């Protein structure tokens, strides 16, 4: 069975041939849109080989066949994707962007009569810190008003293992330092080493696996805010633009798209207007 594989005795790493590199890089581009340039060949090789060793494979062609076979192959693919994508993240990773989030929620709150309805999408949530940060901002603002607040966060990532960790929402105590004291009432320490988010925060977030190449598929769900940072860098420039054009279709009128400052250059959209706000890169659907 898939789950019964055990790591084998050490065998020296086998180098990827040029043909093997092209085949694996092509698979990543086809399935995920992720580009692995030649200068990253050693990275690709080490990640594939490391995973092969964990489950007892010594030949790339045999592992390739496994990856492309049936249900177990699909499960193994998700494990490999987890190795190949970076989940280095933190709570409130780019503070100016979260300040813009807070301003946008407050603006919606001021404009509504008695009920705030606000939907957010954390496009590449990794292990959940970004999504929980969005929920903390919204929850804290809603605690300061007598108006009814209905808000939620859809949080997605291409990595199934990352999403599984995000759903748990359990983090090392050192990460608590990344969270402003005003949000600490919504945190629960499990012990001296770990903490989690309160149920009030967790129930506002729906986690799921999502491939950004599917972003242009029609959806009835529209968002007031889409937060897309630290992911576009993995894609070729023309694919980045396709993804952004797709994200626009998921915004409500007046919705806000927040991006990473250095991840896209010279993108424009006829229906999007640049939001001038300090050290942020954001656009609003007009």
Distance CA 273, CA 283 (A): 5
Give per-residue pLDDT as tens, 182-241. Answer: 999 999 999 999 999 999 999 999 999 999 999 988 888 999 999 999 889 888 888 999
Q: Is pLDDT at 9 greater than 80 in this prediction?
A: no
Distance CA 213, CA 260 (A): 18
Give percent of the chain with pLDDT exceeding 90.
65
Residue ranges of the domains in the chain? 2-84, 95-285
- For 95-285, the fitting CATH number among 3.40.50.150, 3.40.50.1970, 3.40.50.300, 3.40.718.10 is 3.40.50.150
Q: What is the pLDDT of residue 233?
A: 84
Collapse the DSSP code of 273 into the 3-class scheme (helix H, G, I; strand E, B; otherwise coil) and give the result. Answer: strand
Q: Is pLDDT at 16 greater than 90 in this prediction?
A: no
Between 195 and 39, residue with greater pLDDT: 195
Q: What is the pLDDT of residue 2?
A: 41
Both structure tokens of 97: 């962007």
Distance CA 205, CA 153 (A): 5
Between 112 and 88, residue with greater pLDDT: 112
Give per-residue pLDDT as tens, 45-65. Answer: 988 998 898 888 889 999 999
- Cβ atoms 14, 60 nearer than 8 A: yes
Give the class (CATH, top level) of 2-84: mainly alpha
Closest CA to 139 of 90, 204, 189: 204
Question: Hey, CA dihedral for 102, 107, 110, 113, is it positive or negative?
Answer: negative
| Exposure letters 54-67 (e unless 16+ CB within 10 A, then b) | ebebeebeebbebb
């Amino acid at each position: 069975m898939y789950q019964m594989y055990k790591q084998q005795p050490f065998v020296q790493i086998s180098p990827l041939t040029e043909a093997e590199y092209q085949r694996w890089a092509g698979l990543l581009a086809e399935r995920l849109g992720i580009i692995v340039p030649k200068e990253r060949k050693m990275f690709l090789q080490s990640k594939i080989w490391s995973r092969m060793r964990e489950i007892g494979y010594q030949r790339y062609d045999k592992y390739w066949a496994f990856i492309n076979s049936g249900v177990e192959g699909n499960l193994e693919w998700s494990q490999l994707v987890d190795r190949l994508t970076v989940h280095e993240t933190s709570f409130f990773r780019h503070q100016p962007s979260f300040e813009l989030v807070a301003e946008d929620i407050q603006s919606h709150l001021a404009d509504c009569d008695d009920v705030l309805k606000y939907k957010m999408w954390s496009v590449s949530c990794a292990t959940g810190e970004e999504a929980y940060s969005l929920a903390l901002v919204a929850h804290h603002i809603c605690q300061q008003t007598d108006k009814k607040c209905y808000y939620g966060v859809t949080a997605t990532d291409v990595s199934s293992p990352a999403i599984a960790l995000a759903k748990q929402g359990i983090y090392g105590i050192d990460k608590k330092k990344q969270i402003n004291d005003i949000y600490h009432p919504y945190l629960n320490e499990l012990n001296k080493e770990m903490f989690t988010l309160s149920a009030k925060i967790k129930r506002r977030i729906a986690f799921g696996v999502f491939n950004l190449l599917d972003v242009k598929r029609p959806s009835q769900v529209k968002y007031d805010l889409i937060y897309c940072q630290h992911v576009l860098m993995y894609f070729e420039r023309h694919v980045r633009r396709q993804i952004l054009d797709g994200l626009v279709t998921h915004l409500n009128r007046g919705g806000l798209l927040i991006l990473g400052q250095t991840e896209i250059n010279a993108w424009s959209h006829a229906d999007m207007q640049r939001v001038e706000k300090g050290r942020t890169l954001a656009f609003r659907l007009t």
